[in-house]
Structures are given as C-alpha cells and as structure tokens.
Chains A and B, each alone.
Chain A
C-alpha cells in the first residue's frame, strides 16, 4: 500500500500520456474524434470496475448514472444557459443523488437483485426522457448550445486529461486502504463485517464514487458531442459496451477497464466497413475473451506473477 504506483507503472503512465498527447500532431480529426469518445468510455468502464471488481456488485445500469449526469447538464445548459463547469458539477451531483436513491434500497437486496434493480433503473430513465419529450427532446435528443471546443485537437486533449486524472484518482483509491476494505467486502461480506467493517457503508461509498465519475464523464461527453440523446448515453446497449470493455480489460484492475473500453470503441470503428458484421465480430471477440480469459486482458497478464 505504501507504493501505490510502482516505478514500472509510473513509467508506463508517463509514456502513455506523452505518446497520447502528441498524437494530434499526426492523426486526422476523424481518428481523434474516435479516440476522444473512447477516452470517455474508458472513464465509464473504470467507474464501473470500482463497483463490480472491488465492491463485488454488478451494476447493469452504468448508463443510469451516466445518463443522469448527461441529461442534467444538457437541460441546465439548454434551458438556463448556465456555464459548462456549473452544469457538469450539477450533472455529477444529480448522478450522485440519483445513484444513492437507487443504491440505498437496492443494496439491501441479495444476489442478482441488485443488478436487476439497476437494469430497471435504466429503462425507467429512458422512459422518463421519452415521456417528458417537451423538455428533453425525447427520442430525437437535445442539442446543447455550448460545446467544450470546436477544435478536435482541444477536445481530444480535454478527454485525455480527464481520462488520466480519473485513472490516477480511481486507481489510487483502489490501491488505498479503502480499496482493500472494499475488496474484502466484495469477496466475503460476512468476514469483512466480522473484522469490524461496516460493509454497507463501504459499498455505498463505492457506489457514490462510481456515480460521481460516471456523472462527470457523461456530462463532459455531451459537451463534446454537442447533443444528448438516449442512443448515445442511456441505451442498454451502451451500458453493455461499458461492461464488456471493463471485463475485457480485466476485472479488479481499474486501468485494465480503461484499456478494454478504449480498445472496444476503436475496434468497433476500425471494423465499421464490415457493416452489420461489425457488431457481430466485436461481440464474438468479447465472448471469446470472457469465456477463455475471464480475468480479462490485463488480469491475464498480471496473473502469472501472482502464482509465483
């Protein structure tokens, strides 16, 4: 715990940040756009992994939290023309409050029911947005008058900086004393309690942190895209993509989740010429990884070292 970031990891992060931040000098606006989206998805997956990998709770509705953040920010910007930082903050708060309202009763449930509740929450949010179409734009979506930047390079750098900050915070948290307690709570709640830890409190805290990061990332994403729509931030399919990204990259690794999510977004884009086949190939690859390497890509790399 004293060495949260080992020297090898620090080097890896430094190299990644350096390479990633000079990429705009060569890459086209189109490729930068794909990477920008991918980085936001990286944050979504990291936030999800904190809850699943560490607290042991499967949240089938990451887009409930993301959507709350995104739509709150979009509404405030669209209706009241508040400055972007204020709306993003409000979005984060909305995700936090909404997440807590959901998690406090849901965490009392055992086994698969927590997951089911989160799944239903997504459908509820989606329906609410369609019902209040007058304010939310319904299924068509809602444009936001403000955007982060019109320069794809600047947008890219925003996303990169955001990804790196979130990665450091979430990874640091996962390796802290709290991360350790959280893992114990996720793996054997009865024993964690018998060691004197209030498991519900720690899980709620994890859910709150996950909600905060999801909300902020959701809000940032719509100010990059210039619009909020059900299809881009709330749809169950988006949630599935976030989950697959995290599992693909490696459960309980945080950084692996980001790598997996970025990988998934990029591969989907690369395979776009395949048309309908594209989603099929991506899904098949994801299925193969989950079946044969359930620890995920990064988890698989880390494992041999553990069983020394």
Chain B
C-alpha cells in the first residue's frame, strides 16, 4: 500500500438548522486504500460524503485532495479535480444508450465543443467493458437489470480517471452473486491506486473490502480502526445492539392459541429493479408483541409500508381475515392497522393537542376524551406539552407524540417503525417503560421494527430477523440472544 495521502478531511462540521449532521469529522484515505464509513440512518455518513463531493458546503473544516484545499468548491470543480461518486440512486438518460451515458461522463465542460473528441467513443467502450457492460452497449437504461445500472454508474464515476472514488451503499439492492462481482470491481479500483470511500449502514457489508473503518453515530465519530477493532468496539456495539441484551419473561404464554391477526404470505417488493423484500412470510397473533429486528436497509420499513398499502407488492397480506391488497392506505388505517412511521410525520406547525385530535377524528367525542385521558396517563409529558407546537418538541417527545397519535386511532394492530432512531439512551428508557405499560394495560397487538436489539427484545413475544430482504431467523427473544447475538453486527 502506498503511503501517500490522497484525501485528507479535518474537522468537518455541517449543521442543518439546529441539527448537527456532522461534528468534527476527520479522516485520511491513502492511494490504494479503501475506507469504510459506517453508521445507522441519520448518523451523518451521507452528509460527510456530500461534504467531500461539494454537494453540501461544510460549515467548518477542511478537505484536501493531494494537498489542495477543496472545501467550499462547487462539486463540478471537485469532480474535475479528481473525485468521482457512485450514487445509490441515479437518473440516467433514458433516451440514450449505455454507451452514450458513459460518453456523457467523458465530455469536456465546454459550451463550444459540439462534437465529442475523437477518442471518446473508444474510451467509453473500454470503460463499459471494464465494468462488465460490454454486451449491453447499445441497450437503453430502462431495459437493464438493476445491477447493470449500478455498473453504468460506476463506469460514469471512473470515466474521468478520478483519484478518489466515493461509493454510496455499494451493495444495496444487489443479490449475493452480484455483490461478489461488485466487490471485485471495487478491489480493482484499489489496485489501480485510487483512494476509495465506501459509505454503508454497517460493518458487515464492507468488512471484506475495507482496509479501515470509521464509524459514526448522531454526527459524531465513535470509532476508527481495522474491521475487527471497530466490530469489537464497545460504543459501536452499543449503537447497533444497544448494550447487553436482556429478556423479560412474558407471563401468560397464551398467544400460541390465538388466531393470527396479521398474516403475510410470500410478500415481495421491488423498487424499480432493486428487490427490497423477498418472499416474506410472517404471522402476528392477536394480542402478541412481535419484533422484527434487522439493520438499516434490511427491508423493515418496506415491509411495514406494504402492510399499510403504501408500496405495491406481490404476495398476500391478510388482516383479521380480510385481504388488504387493493385497499387504499386510508381504508387500511381505518380497518385497524395503524403505522407509526420511522419519520414520525408529525404536523410540525400544529400543537401537541391538535396532532392528537387529528388522530382521533374518527372517534365520537366521548370516546376521544377517554382515549386522550388514557394517553396522557401513558405519556405524562405530552399532557404538560399540550399547547406546544410539535416542531419544537425534543426528539423523544416527538416520538411519544407520534405513538400517541397512532394510538388515538384505537388501532387493533400498532405498527411501530424504528421508534428509537436518533434518540438518546435516557429517552429510550422512558419509551421502553411506556411500551411496557401499553402492553400490560391493553389488548393491543404490536408489530415493532428495530435495529436496536436491546430495545426490541424485552417486550417481544416473538422475534423475526430480517436480513437483505429476507427473514432469516424466527424464534423467542431468549433464543435470539443465545443464537444470534454475536453474529448480528
């Protein structure tokens, strides 16, 4: 490995309003080295990548490319200076062929050069062959499988022979076989002496490739080192697993005899050509608390959105003996399946009370008052904050409000998507207690999606593990801790 530092980032800071998306982040990438930048959703890893590329301007800090300061430059200048990026989602030119799309990346940024330089065609063919698109040169992007689209993006990114290549979630949406081929391509970049930054959710996916890993959480650097060091790091384990796993024994194991309230059979979802869910079967019985655990990007949110009718899918979703396919999201919510989404979707400009009242629109006045009283008992903080505008609540309070608003609809099945996202540990405890009370005081059925296993397990009657769009494990929380705890990261 060469010792020359290609990319040097120091003290990068980026704020969005009050949110500090990246705080004092720094790293080096040498020529011929792969650095993995990992962190869960909202950790700021994508922001850091955008700061390097110049898509966002850093509020403070420096980025040096071969010793030249590039922080604050527009991204086209940074690109020309030698940084290429492979976006996770891109919009290729659909009226042009694969070859023309790659040629685009080879054109000079000039208003006067009407025709491409003579060597461009040949160079574009070379690049296409190098990334494995030799057979589809003249096809249009819309006819290509997802993996080939990613290859095309890779081809475009390396067209200008960049010194540094940034790759956003290199393996998202790819099958196991394609992951292998892509890893080879990325290794090829390293062998050519380029500096590579892989941005991904977790260590596992970049473990085989990265020379070093930098882990981020809530905008902060939490660990840096070799793959093994980072995987063993206590903070990293706490971020992903949430510390030691404990299981509360659930009394009254009568759930077994109850009929399934929600049943998924062969549920598959595609986003364009990327498969987000692969033939998922899942049961939630009446009164049961089921947790789906899985890292970011495993497909949890997609699964919930399919149940709520927000994304098209194949397979069957049954709820209380009704087939939900074809029903509108509104009708599904009214039939008793209420989702509390990851993004919370609060009405930011309305007060706490107004948000709750909106959730209770379908209830009679009397029932609404009772429900509200019960919710204030469950979440006392919300009663105190009644007249406050939702946008100004803290993250934890917003999450409680989102759950309370969902409960106002008196759901038969409450779907909770990643309630712990971006919350401080002390808030997690309050939230955990509220869930415990909820489980004890009502016959409600809950389907919880979590990456934080420590949060997900104590309440659960049963656990499903979702990995790469598939259910790979199913069982009781106690078994999970014993069997899966170590291999989860």
Q: Which residues of A come within 8 Å of B, CB atoms? A: 1-2, 172-173, 176-178, 180-181, 183-184, 187-188, 190-199, 201-202, 205, 252, 306-308
What total of A-B pairs shows CB separation below 8 Å? 91
Instruction: Verify A195–B105 contact, CB threshold 8 A.
Output: yes
Contact B90 A198 (CB under 8 A): no
Q: Chain B residues near A196: list those with CB within 8 A.
A: 76, 79-80, 105, 109, 160
Q: Complex formed: what's the CA distance from A1 to B114 in Å?
A: 10
18 A/B residue pairs, CB under 8 Å, sorted by A = A1-B103, A180-B93, A183-B93, A183-B95, A183-B96, A184-B93, A191-B87, A193-B74, A194-B53, A194-B55, A194-B76, A196-B80, A196-B160, A197-B76, A199-B76, A202-B111, A252-B95, A307-B140
CB distance from B72 to the nearest CB of A (A): 14
Contacts of A306 in B (CB 8 A): 94-95, 140, 142
Whether the pair A177, B114 counts as a contact (CB closer than 8 A) is yes
- A197 and B113 alpha carbons, distance in the complex (Å): 13
Q: Which of A184, A194, A199, A306 has the most CB of B within 10 A?
A: A194
Lowest 6 A-B CB distances belong to which pairs?
A196-B79, A176-B114, A193-B75, A188-B91, A196-B80, A193-B76
Q: Which chain A positions have C-beta within 8 A of B95?
A: 183, 252, 306
Q: Which of A191, A193, A307 contacts B91, CB < 8 Å?
A: A191
Q: Which residues of A contact B159 (CB under 8 A)?
A: 195
CA distance A7 to B103 in the complex (A): 23
Seed contacts A178-B114, A180-B104, A193-B74; 16 additional CB < 8 Å A-B pairs:
A1-B100, A1-B116, A2-B115, A172-B114, A176-B115, A178-B113, A183-B93, A191-B87, A191-B90, A193-B54, A194-B79, A195-B160, A196-B80, A196-B160, A197-B109, A201-B109
In the complex, what residues of A have CB within 8 A of residue B107's CB? 177, 180-181, 197
Closest CB of chain B to A75's CB: distance in Å?
31
What's the dominant secondary structure at chain B's contact region? Answer: loop
- What is the chain B residue whose CB lies nearest that of A172? B114
A-side contacts of B94, CB under 8 Å: 306
List of B residues within 8 angstroms of A205 by Cβ: 111
Interface bits B62-104 vs A (CB < 8 Å: 1, else 0): 0000000000001110011000110100110111100010011
A193–B140 contact, CB under 8 A? no
Q: Could you tell me if A188 and B90 are in contact, using CB atoms closer than 8 angstroms?
A: yes
Is there a chain A Cβ closer than 8 Å to B14's Cβ?
no
Q: How far is the CA of A212 from the CA of B140 in the complex (A)?
A: 33
Task: Flag whether B394 is at the interface (Cβ < 8 A).
Answer: no
Docked Cα-Cα span, A176 to B113, in Å, equals 9
The residues of A that contact B75 with a CB separation of less than 8 Å are 190, 193-194
Distance, CA A188 to CA B153, complexed state (A): 13
A308 near B143 (CB under 8 angstroms)? yes
Shortest distance from the beta carbon of B401 to any chain A beta carbon, whole Å: 30
A196: nearest chain-B partner, CB-CB:
B79
Interface of chain B residues 2 through 56 with chain A (CB within 8 A): 53-55
Docked pose: A2 CA to B103 CA in angstroms: 12
Given the complex, which residues of A lie within 8 Å of B76, measured CB to CB? 192-199
Interfacial chain B residues near A184, Cβ < 8 Å: 93, 104
Q: Are B85 and A194 in contact (CB under 8 A)?
A: yes
A202 to B107, CA, bound (A): 13
* Chain B residues whose C-beta falls within 8 Å of the C-beta of A172 in the assembled complex: 114
In the complex, A176 Cα to B115 Cα: how many Å?
Answer: 6
Identify the interface centre among A178, A191, A307: most chain B CB within 10 Å of its CB. A191
> If the complex has contacts A188-B91, A252-B95, are A1 and B79 also in contact, measured as CB distance less than 8 A?
no
Which residue of chain A is the closest to B111 with respect to CB atoms?
A205
Counting chain B CB atoms within 10 Å of each CB, which of A2, A173, A184, A307 scores highest?
Answer: A184
What is the distance, in angstroms, from B57's C-beta to the closest C-beta of chain A? 13
Closest to A306 in B: B140
**A173 to B160 alpha-carbon distance, docked (Å):** 24
With a cutoff of 8 Å between Cβ atoms, the chain A residues found around residue B142 in the complex are: 306-307
- A187–B116 CB distance below 8 A: no
B221 contact set on A, CB distance < 8 A: none
Query: Which B residues touch A177, using CB under 8 A?
Result: 107, 113-116
Residues on B with C-beta less than 8 A from A307 are: 140, 142-143
**B143-168 CB contact bits vs A (8 Å, 1 = yes)?**
10000000000001001100000000
Checking B55, B74, B104, B114 against A198 with a beta-carbon cut-off of 8 angstroms, the contacting residue is B74
Instruction: Please measure, in the bound complex, the distance between the C-alpha atom of A174 and the C-alpha atom of B46, giving whole angstroms.
Output: 35
A176→B140 CA distance, assembly (Å): 18
Which residues, 366 to 380 on B, are CB-close (under 8 Å) to A?
Answer: none
When C-beta atoms are compared, the residue in chain A nearest to B162 turns out to be A196
Per-position 1/0 for B129-142, Cβ under 8 A of A: 00000000000101
Residues from chain B with a CB closer than 8 A to the CB of A188 are 90-91
Bound: A199/B107 CA distance, A:
13
**B113 to chain A: which residues have CB within 8 Å?**
177-178
